[in-house]
Amino acid sequence: MNIILFGPPAVGKGTQSKLIAKKYNLPQLSTGDMLREAIAQGSEIGRKVSKIMTSGELVSDEIIMDVIKHRLSCNDCASGVIFDGFPRTKSQGESLHKIFMQMGKKIDYIIELSVDFTVLIDRVKARVSQTAPADRRPDDNPEILKKRLEVYEAQTAPVLDYYRGLGKLITLDGALSIESVSDKIFAIIDCKVK
Ligand code: ADP
């Protein structure tokens, strides 16, 4: 079972992906986490992406597709994955489609978490005030969040139209509690699985 969890920064994709990963025993493929890991390891990719991530812009499709292809070739991805924060551009969506065709795989669920942007800005303000400076992500502040939301509108939201056009998009209210959102996601998956 392959799932794409879609939505703007800070909407709760990471939290929900972890819950789905645990319940259905699938790996969570967060491109953001993979890139932050590359930065922490000081790898070549890490050096290339560090500045761009801090600015709130997107990393190039080429780097992202390299990272994703490599990850998808690992054994633990054989029975399915949860994509978290990917695809983020139309080109990434199309590349994923091609790779999946070649691998004989399909995307089972594309779930969008939708929420008013003002809620997201308030969430990040609260998160910043509750987190020690050393533990904060460099792009997790209200100013950069505004940039990330602009980037989302311009480059990532069009991917939704692509999936909507394929008749595959399910939209959920991301303003609900963590548990309400995960209950809805589990209900969608379990209904189809049965
Ligand atoms: P969030 O979900 O809070 O926006 P992520 O951890 O998914 O955060 O991403 C953080 C940053 O990593 C993005 O702003 C971008 O610079 C980079 N990034 C992550 N995934 C992608 C992707 N699929 N394409 C391009 N850039 C990405």
Length in residues, the chain? 194
d(CA 176, CA 181): 6
Relative to the CA of 89, which ligand 1 atom is closest? 24
Please say if the pLDDT value at position 193 is more than 70. no
Please say if the pLDDT value at position 194 is more than 60. no
The model's pLDDT over 29-63, given as tens digits with 9 standing for 90+, comes to 999 999 999 999 999 999 999 999 999 999 999 99
- Residue 32 in contact with ligand 1 by CB distance below 6 A: yes
Check residue 35 and give its pLDDT: 97
The model's pLDDT over 136-164, given as tens digits with 9 standing for 90+, comes to 888 888 899 999 999 999 999 999 998 99
The model's pLDDT over 71-99, given as tens digits with 9 standing for 90+, comes to 999 999 999 999 999 999 999 999 999 99
Check residue 192 and give its pLDDT: 66
Q: Considering the chain, what is the average pLDDT of its residues? A: 94
Check residue 94 and give its pLDDT: 95
Q: Which of 45, 50, 59 to mutate to test the pocket of ligand 1 (most atoms within 8 A of CB)?
A: 59
Q: Which of 4, 45, 51, 88 to mutate to test the pocket of ligand 1 (most atoms within 8 A of CB)?
A: 88
Q: What percent of the chain has pLDDT over 90?
A: 86
Alpha carbon of residue 120 to chain centroid:
15
d(CA 168, CA 110): 6
Q: What is the DSSP letter of 183?
A: H
Under the banding of pLDDT at 50, 70 and 90, the label for residue 165 is confident
Check residue 12 and give its pLDDT: 92
CA dihedral 14→188→87→152, nearest 10 degrees, is -70
Kindly provide the residue ranges of all beta strands, DSSP E only, lying in 115-168, ordered along the sequence.
none
